C-alpha cells in the first residue's frame, strides 16, 4: 500500500478530497442496495454510454433532456464493486491531498470534475460503438495523478513492502511509481481486448489533462503562496 509522507506545515483540511470520497461511498452504498436489474438500469442511465453519447442522429433537445453530457460527470461517482471503489479512492487520497493543498480546494475540485469528464469523453470516443457504460473515477483520479506529477516532480512517497514476515517502509521517488502506473495503462491500452472492454484511454487522457491543468495553474498557485 502507499502512504503519504507527512509535511511539517499545518495545512487546511482537504475538504474537496473528503467530499469526493464521501459522495463516492454514498453512491456505491445506494447502488448495492438496489436489485440487480434496477442497478443495471441506473448504471446505463447515469454512466457514460459511448454509443448513446456520440449518437449524432438524436435531436439536440432530446440529448439535452436526457442529460447526456451530464453523464460524463455523474459516471465519475459510480463504481462496479468494492475493489473498483477502493482502488480509485486509494490513489485519490495519496495523490489528491497534496495536490489539493497546492491547487486550493476549489481549483482541485474543478480539476477532478473537468478532468474526469474530459477523460470519459476520450474513452467514449475510442469505444464509440460500445453500449456498456463507462463508470468509475479512474479518469478523474488519473487527472489528479497527472497534476501531482507536474506539481511535485521530485517528491518522494512512502511505500510499505512485505519483506518476509515484516513490513518495511521505504521512500521511493513519486515519478518512479507514476511511471510504472503509466506503463501499465499503455500496456492495458493495447492488450485491452484480452482483459475486457476497459476504457484505458480514459486513464491516459485524464493524466494528460491533469498535467496541462497543473501547468496552467502555476501562476495561481504562486499567488496563493504569496498570500
Q: If you write DSSP's letter for every residue of 138-186 in order, what string do you get?
A: HHHHHHHHHHHHHH-TT-EEEEEEEETTEEEEEEEEHHHHHHHHHHHHH
Confirm if 97 and 112 have CB atoms less than 8 A apart: no
Confirm if 50 and 129 have CB atoms less than 8 A apart: yes
Supply the range of the domain harboring residue 180. 2-226
Looking at residue 26, which CATH number applies to its domain? 1.20.1540.10
Cα distance between residue 139 and residue 207, in whole Å: 8
Q: What is the pLDDT along the chain (227 residues), one digit of tens a residue?
A: 444 444 455 667 899 999 999 999 999 999 999 998 898 889 888 998 888 877 666 665 566 556 678 999 999 999 988 988 998 998 899 899 999 999 999 999 999 999 999 999 998 888 887 888 889 999 999 999 999 999 998 887 766 666 666 666 677 787 887 887 777 666 666 655 444 445 678 888 999 999 999 999 988 888 877 76
Cα distance between residue 175 and residue 178, in whole Å: 5
**Domain total in the chain:** 1
pTM comes to: 0.83
Confirm if 1 and 172 have CB atoms less than 8 A apart: no
CB neighbours of 185 closer than 8 A, spacing ≥ 6?
A: 142, 200, 203, 204, 207
For 79, phi then psi, to 5°, come to: -130, 150
Q: Is 61 exposed, middle or buried (0-12, 13-18, 19+ CB in 10 A)?
A: exposed
Amino acid at each position: 500500500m502507499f502512504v503519504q509522507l507527512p509535511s511539517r506545515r499545518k495545512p487546511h483540511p482537504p475538504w474537496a478530497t473528503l467530499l469526493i470520497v464521501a459522495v463516492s461511498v454514498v453512491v456505491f452504498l445506494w447502488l448495492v442496495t438496489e436489485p440487480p436489474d434496477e442497478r443495471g438500469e441506473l448504471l446505463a442511465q447515469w454512466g457514460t454510454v459511448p454509443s448513446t453519447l456520440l449518437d449524432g442522429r438524436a435531436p439536440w433537445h432530446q440529448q439535452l433532456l436526457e442529460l447526456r453530457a451530464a453523464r460524463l460527470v455523474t459516471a465519475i461517482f459510480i463504481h462496479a464493486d468494492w475493489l473498483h471503489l477502493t482502488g480509485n479512492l486509494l490513489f485519490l487520497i495519496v495523490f489528491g491531498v497534496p495536490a489539493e493543498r497546492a491547487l486550493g480546494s476549489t481549483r482541485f475540485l474543478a480539476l477532478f470534475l473537468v478532468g474526469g469528464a474530459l477523460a470519459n469523453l476520450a474513452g467514449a470516443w475510442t469505444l464509440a460503438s460500445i453500449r456498456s457504460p463507462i463508470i468509475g473515477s479512474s479518469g478523474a483520479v488519473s487527472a489528479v495523478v497527472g497534476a501531482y506529477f507536474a506539481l511535485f516532480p521530485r517528491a518522494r512517497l512512502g511505500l510499505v513492502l512485505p519483506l518476509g514476515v515484516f513490513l518495511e517502509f521505504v521512500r521511493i521517488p513519486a515519478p518512479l511509481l507514476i511511471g510504472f502506473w503509466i506503463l501499465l495503462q499503455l500496456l492495458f491500452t493495447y492488450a485491452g481486448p484480452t482483459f475486457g472492454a476497459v476504457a484505458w484511454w480514459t486513464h491516459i487522457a485524464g493524466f494528460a489533462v491533469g498535467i496541462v491543468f497543473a501547468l496552467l495553474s502555476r501562476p495561481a498557485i504562486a499567488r496563493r503562496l504569496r498570500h
